[in-house]
Homo-oligomer: A and B are copies of this chain.
Amino acid sequence: MSSFNSTGRVTPSVGATVNRADAIDAPAFSPLYQQIKQVLLASLQAGEWRPLQAIPSEIELAKRYGVSQGTVRKAIDELAAENLLVRRQGKGTFVASHDERQVQYRFLRLRPDTGTLSSQGRATRNILHCKRLRAPADMARLLGLNAGDGLLHIRRTLAMAGTPTVLEDIWLSAGKFRGLNAANLQIYEGAMYSLFEKQYGVHMVRAEEELRAVLPTEEQAELLDVTPQTPLLQVERISFSYNDQPVEVRRALNRTDKHHYHNTLG
């Protein structure tokens, strides 16, 4: 217990990281709370605390790492701001999950032009297929795999109020999702990311999207019940798990005649 931190004043018991001086290049000063944050992140990655579970209390963590409660607090604050943890006053701090009513569709930006999400009822999902294949070079690169590695390709449609609205192609590393098949997907009640989390321990933390306006192929047009001349909103997404590890590639074709993609710029 004790070591590291540079400044010579406090020497808490968090791993070992020499801070300033000595090193030839950039001193790369890292405050204590950042180091605590990394330790907490490691525990999350390692699955030490699972989604929906409470992590130890701030006081407990402060004792464990030999720092003050305020320092632990600041580390947790940042993790909460990044949606990795959820604080609940009086109850504790919990590992974020896609399996909570409130954040169930955290990554869903498609909204009906009129009315609310709930007023339309839930989307009707239809799994068209779930096939296993060998990863082509481009997909392997995006997912951090080797070309030829096992890949799952899921295709599904989502119908809103009876109208087919979204056609999604989803690619996943087969290694991480053993046993996933069309039947699993069709049966599961709830968001797909909730399933990934519960059944495969894969928690999506962040995603990057690229949007384009495109025309559908004949096949795509048919599945969405539109003509091939109908402009569609294509959303390509890469989703990342804890350590910025790419886990999923998804390409959605969205009809935007009754819906739109909503975004807030801060």
Contacts and interface: CB of A to CB of B under 8 A. Distances in A.
What's the interface size class on A, roughly? Answer: 20 to 34
Contacts of A214: 213, 231, 256
A265 B207 contact: yes
A210 interface: yes
Query: How many identical chains are in the complex?
Result: 2
A233 B212 contact: yes
B209 A256 contact: no
Interface string A179-194: 0000000000000000
B262 A233 contact: no
Given A264-B206, A265-B106, A266-B82, A211 B231 contact: no
Among A212, A237, A262, A264, find the residue whose CB has the most chain B CB atoms closer than 10 A: A212
A107 interface: yes
B207 A231 contact: no
A261 B212 contact: yes
B83 A211 contact: no
A232 interface: yes
B231 A261 contact: no
Interface of A: 81-83, 106-107, 109, 206-215, 229, 231-234, 237, 254, 256, 260-266
Shortest 6 CB-CB contacts between residues of A and residues of B:
A231-B231, A213-B231, A212-B256, A213-B213, A211-B261, A207-B265
